[in-house]
Structure 1
């Protein structure tokens, strides 16, 4: 059985203690290290090579947003001076936060974080989230974060990213359904496509948008106005 290595980054020792207790109780998850700030996390990512990082966003010194950007920027380029090895792949990053509508959370997702967890999440939700991102999935954000993205429509520096990407009609349909939080299987059912075909379209969308994952692609869709959120309580419009 493959074990997922997890790094905990939070300036509150009690939070780290609780997360470690939850994760280490699972046979397929192992907490390999802890950091109390973003700067310490950077060094541990290089030395421990975790599969998943649980990253607090608001910390003194180097905060979680800056640390997320640095980890993803350095992946594949940085060299560990002690071993001569680089960070050959970026770990999956789950932002841990108190408030889901935090601008720090939104910017971390925009920078390439794979999703976020609320500090009030139940233990089973934490375990499920770690397993999901470790397996290559993304935790698409709820309506509150989609509204934050919509509020920035037309204001992002790359606001025309979707228009410039040259998506086909089918790829555009897939992106709209991704933005509504549908899984590959759900998208396939909606469009009468096989799951593997949907995966091919999703990969094409990510490649054309230059997005690291589904989360970044969805953010681009909202910021560019390609997808428009419906009023509160209603489904997003196509």
Structure 2
């Protein structure tokens, strides 16, 4: 399978997704959109992955390439490519589908529990998703659920944690791809900003939780396997 990745920030890489790609011997091409907006033709890949970043999906004036990226995502969706977005990636998908993205009243930083919705029961791509599961959150924005999309999971702080549009577009607000190394980089970069909040954990609360990383990666790999199977069927 051919994977194409859009990376929006130097620190927000594929993380644990690289492990899954390597294990399955798939190919991956990455465009660092903050430096390069020359996107691949949609005919050159099977799965498009859009990663996170600290910017808002609505900050096109400060980050002009965001508009180009959203237009490209719209094209991929129109051509019914499988699209998988994480955090900012999910917000860019929502924006490309016509939904507003905006600052949330609450920030989520740390390991928080999510709960699946009843709608998810009949969706094959989310087979194996537990009723409740814990993942890492790092966001201050949220979005309205796109018209025609199905909400898959929610948390106490943020309603739209996962959604699916049609049978080939998935957006996750959380970060199942994060590794312990990723979190160490996060603390090094923004640790001084973690001053507290109802849903903001301190570094000593969220670091060195290898058990939670293992659970999050299991959910991620299961979802990616389901996507891969659907691509092969298609």
Instruction: Give the TM bin, normalised by the shorter chain.
Output: 0.3 to 0.5
**Structure number with higher helix proportion:** 1
TM-score of the superposition, structure 2-length normalised? 0.37
Q: Which has the larger radius of gyration?
A: 1
User: TM-score with structure 1 length normalisation?
Assistant: 0.37
